Amino acid sequence: MTFTLADQTAFAALSGDWNPLHVDPVAARRTLMGAPVVHGVHLVLWAIERVLAAHPGEAVSIAAIRAVFRKPAYLDREVTLRAKLEPDGAHRIDMISSDGNLLELTVRFGAATTRTPVESRAWPTPVMPDELSRGAAVTARGQLPLAVDVALARARFPVAVARLGAMQLAELLATTRLVGMHCPGLYSLYAGLSLEAHVPTVDPQLEFEVAEAKLKYSVIGLRVTGPSLAGTLDTFYRPQSSRLEMDEVLRSVAPDAFAGQTALVVGGSRGLGEAFAKAIAAGGGNVCLTYHRGADDAARVVGEIRAANRRATAIALDVCAPASTLSECWPFSEPPTHVYYLATPPIRKTLAFRPEELELMIRYYVTGLHAVSAAAVELGAKQLVVWSPSTTMLAPPRGGTVYCIAKAAMEELGHHLPSLLPVTIHMPRIGRVDTDQTAGLIELRSAARLAVALEHLHLLSARPSLP
């Protein structure tokens, strides 16, 4: 099975969980996942559908279910299911991709119980989740009404609807709506569930309250009770996207510190690229920043720079084909003096070796860097200064196998680029920086991105560039 964005949108409509982590590629790239991931309950229901289809029979009910979401399931990546029926009647299921074990699921079915009726209706689409602070999240409690679009449910999970009934399906769907939309809400990460059957009630709602909170580890545990199932949900309050205010940059940079620079900042709509763009503009330089998909982010950065009476513009750029874009869209009369190359795909620092992921990173860090440098030279640059960060993960190598290989290849390109083009290349190995790509559930020490940008901008300004 391969889950697509269309599958995610359909599941969001069914469950009412429209958290951007699952359905918005641009917003999801600003999370620690780096890209949209499949709803955990989507995986659970798909597994239940497959298991029930493989063991046909009469109506049943869920007697107990436990799920642990080990790793995120990324879109457009093949997922396989391994199921085993244990002697005690429990189905033990693993869901696996090239990333490893994504889901550990144990479900035990019992005899069908009296089915509580549930309203058949659709949830509003799309809706933004509640944006709870950490303090509000750890004290949350309340009720969620239960309903399900039965026709849509039958289209997605026909066997589960027929065998389990709409109410138990609605209860499982309500757990992802609770986590993704209400508590923790926008900044949530669903880690697992453990539910057991209890004496059925006729009250069509899911009651919830926070049972455990360990904010040092971003942990929020919920206790839930529905018409037929009760138990706990394991969640995390994931880190929010960091903001870099222009006022902070202006206070940190002399007004003429970078006057004379006409800078092309590739990947300047967020992260370290945003810090470079704002710092150069605050210091009197001209900035053209590029974005690939984050048009709104780029517009925000440019708007903040212009509001401070500094010069900046943004253009869309695919680093794999930059020549025509730069020649047609370069906004300044003078050619670029500097290229700050911070384009990057999502970084997954794992030991797994995936050729397709390496190919993508090579396109960004090697092919793209060369192509952008050549295109900038074609604009008339005489002696272009190119800056692109490598990583301290290379010495000694630790984690991020594919990432380290690609960065090592980029450094090798750096050795040869001055003999191919009239450029000076700088590829400093930098450590952890506080960007969306490095965010984690446990806070680790990271360098402030503005401090990193200013350190390297001042180093470039302090010494003559030598090829």
Same domain, 326 and 196: no
Domain around 364: 246-462
> Could you give the CA distance from residue 177 to residue 166 in angstroms, rounded to a whole number?
16
Kindly state whether residues 189 and 322 are assigned to the same domain: no
End-to-end CA distance of the chain: 51
Do 432 and 308 share a structural domain? yes
Please write the tens of the pLDDT for every residue from 358-369.
999 999 999 999
The confidence score (pLDDT) of residue 39 equals 97
Sign of the torsion angle spanned by Cα atoms 440, 445, 446, 450? positive
Answer for the pair 365, 342: CB distance below 8 angstroms, yes or no: no
465 burial type by CB count under 10 A (0-12 exposed, 13-18 middle, 19+ buried): middle
- Judge if 228 and 195 occupy the same domain: yes
Residue 184 shares a structural domain with residue 292: no
- For residue 288, the 8-state DSSP code is E
208 found inside a domain: yes
Q: Which residue has the tokens 């809706």?
A: 127
Q: What is the DSSP string of 405-465?
A: HHHHHHHHHHHHHHHHSSEEEE--EE--BSSGGG--SS----B-HHHHHHHHHHHHHHS--
| Distance from C-alpha of 206 to C-alpha of 224, rounded to nearest angstrom | 7
- Assess whether 222 and 273 both reside in one domain: no
**397 and 365 in a common domain:** yes
Residues 209, 282 within the same domain: no
Instruction: Let me know whether 162 and 255 are in one domain.
Output: no
Backbone angles phi, psi at 226, to 5 degrees: -115, -175
Domain boundary (173, 208, 237) is at: 237
Q: Is 467 within the bounds of a domain?
A: no
Q: Is 310 inside a domain boundary?
A: yes
Helix (H, G, I), strand (E, B) or coil at 104: strand
pLDDT of residue 117: 79
Please tell me the predicted confidence (pLDDT) of residue 29: 81
CATH label of the domain that carries residue 182: 3.10.129.10
Q: Which residues are CB-contacts of 247 (< 8 A; sequence separation ≥ 6)?
A: none
CATH number, domain with residue 283: 3.40.50.720
The answer as to whether 9 is a domain residue is yes
168: pLDDT strictly greater than 50: yes
Average pLDDT, the chain: 90
Higher pLDDT: 348 or 302? It is 302
- Model confidence at 465: pLDDT above 60: no
Clarify whether residues 336 and 209 are in a common domain.
no
Number of domains in the chain: 2
Domain boundary among 187, 211, 237: 237
Q: Does residue 229 sit in the same domain as residue 250?
A: no
Task: Give the global pTM.
Answer: 0.76
pLDDT at 144: 95
Is 450 part of any domain?
yes
Is the pLDDT at 438 greater than 60? The verdict is no
Over 50: is that where the pLDDT of 467 sits?
A: no
Tell which of 237, 263, 289 closes a domain. Answer: 237
Strand 423-426 with 384-387, pairing:
parallel
Calpha distance 467→452 (Å, rounded): 23
Please give the structure tokens belonging to residue 344.
């990057």
Task: Work out the average pLDDT over 161-180.
Answer: 95
The answer to whether residue 424 is domain-embedded is yes
429-430 vs 390-391, strand pairing mode: parallel
Quote the distance between the C-alpha of residue 48 and its chain's center: 27
**Mean pLDDT along residues 278-305:** 94
Q: Do 206 and 160 have their domain in common?
A: yes
